[in-house]
Every structure is written in C-alpha cells, then in structure tokens.
Structure 1
C-alpha cells in the first residue's frame, strides 16, 4: 500500500516540468554536501508516520485482519540558491531565486485534495517548515495527511 502511494505521488509530480529530480527520500540531502546525488530543483517523498487501527476481518483477504491507517506524507522541496532576492538585485536574478515558491505552489495544486490510490483518501496539506542548512541549498518540508483503508 505505502509503495503504491509513493509511486502515485511520484507520477503526479513528474508532470511538473520545473522539478528535475523526484524520488523517495533515502537521505540524498544528508551528509553529501556540497555534492548531493541529485539534480536541482528536487522533491523527495517520504512517509512521515502512519498510525493503524483495526477495522475488522475479511476472511477472503490476506491478512484477514483489516486496518485503517492515517498519517503523513512529507515532501522535501529543495533548490540550489545561487543568487539573492535583495531589493536591488537585477529582476531576472530575483525571479530565479524565488522559483522554489512557484514549485511549492505547483506541487500543492497537483496534490492537495487528490486521492493518490484507490484505497487512500485525499491528501490534505497540514504543515510546512523551512529546513535550516549551511550549504546553499534552500529546502522546505511540506506535510500532507492521508488516510488509507483495508490495509
């Protein structure tokens, strides 16, 4: 179930041309400075946590005990920020520096309220935070909640 959800999100995000690298988060941005094994801009997809509850039995299924899961999907959205957005910077430079916000909005437009799999409910954005880094990579984590049944 979780694999299908992650693959579905990857397929949806692949329709956003501005994102050059989309993958499951296995630590690509951790401890690889200054050369992470990615292209930029990127989106990394991970399951933040899932909480399971029992909903009964289906003797025709394996396993027979059925569960419902609710939890989070965390998207790490990052880009190399090689130029600044100061008030006196040239406008093309500022436009390029602000591009991560366009990507975040494009992702939100594709995922918010969308069911990514037949037994998964709609993804709903619940949080966003900036990740402090010291390597020139601008990174934000956007969290979506999701529910899945009969897992």
Structure 2
C-alpha cells in the first residue's frame, strides 16, 4: 500500500492549485481554526479494503494469494474567503469557486488511472460535502479500486 499511496501523491502533484498533498492522518479534524495544512489541500486515505482468497503461489511470499477491492477517499479542502452571490464581482466569484475546479482536476487526473501494476483503475463512486463552521470548504470524494495477487 505504501507504493500505492506514493503513486497517488505523485500524480496529484501535477495539479498546480494544490498546496498540500498528504495521507489523511486527521489534519482536518479538531484543529479549527488552524488545521496543520496549507490550502487548498488534498488528503488521501485507504478507507477500506475487502479481501478474497484466490489460491496459492508457492513461489510468492506469502504463498496465499488474494484479491482486494476497496475504497480510496480524497479530502479536498480550501478556505473560502469570499461569497458567490449573484451580485458579487465575477473575479470574487471565480476565486470562491476554486474548490470546484480542483475537484474537476482531481477527477480528470485519477479517474480510470492505475496507480500500480497490481492495482486496477480508480473509479469514482461518490462526492460528499463535509459541513464545517470555520470557513473551510471540505469535500470527500470516494473512488473504488481493486488489487490482484496481494
């Protein structure tokens, strides 16, 4: 999983708007108003994996082989300092909607991409807004993935 997480981190580094990319170890939890991150940020987590046995390979270590399928979660967050009301200046609205450009860029970057040779492609399954009271816009985007011979 280490190589998998590193591959994703390297791939997300191609999104120029992101100022901080890391494994999710709780940076957005209980740190209000000063999370230990720069904004906008992307946090990566292997949320769950389910394994099934597919047999043995005596030349491998361990010899028991498995398939895995699971969920990878991306947290995208940015500080929203201006509003997007109908009468706000267009430049102000453009800045306030930056998170949506980043969400689209993340999707274009990872959807259908295979991070490692033993993984399948990341396929988006959900997007959820995380309500906050500190001016940070936070979205949780989930992707499914499969792994073979692990």
Secondary structure at the residue paired with 1:82? coil
Q: Give, in whole Å, the separation in 1 of the partners of 2:134 and 2:65.
A: 45
Match for residue 147 of structure 1? 146
Match for residue 76 of structure 2? 77
Match for residue 107 of structure 1? 106
1:56 aligns with 2:47: no
Q: Give, in whole Å, the separation in 2 of the partners of 1:27 and 1:149.
A: 29
1:31 aligns with 2:37: no
1:130: Cα distance to partner? 0.3
Alignment length (residue pairs): 150
1:87 aligns with 2:86: yes
Secondary structure at the residue paired with 1:110? helix
Dislocated runs of 4+, deviation >3 Å:
none
Secondary structure at the residue paired with 2:85? coil
1:134: Cα distance to partner? 0.8
Deviations 1:14-68 (A, max 9, x none): 0111000000000001011111110000000001100000011011111110100
Secondary structure at the residue paired with 1:32? coil
1:91: Cα distance to partner? 1.0
Secondary structure at the residue paired with 1:105? helix
Secondary structure at the residue paired with 2:68? strand
| TM-score where L is the length of structure 2 | 0.99
| Unaligned ranges ≥5, structure 1 | none
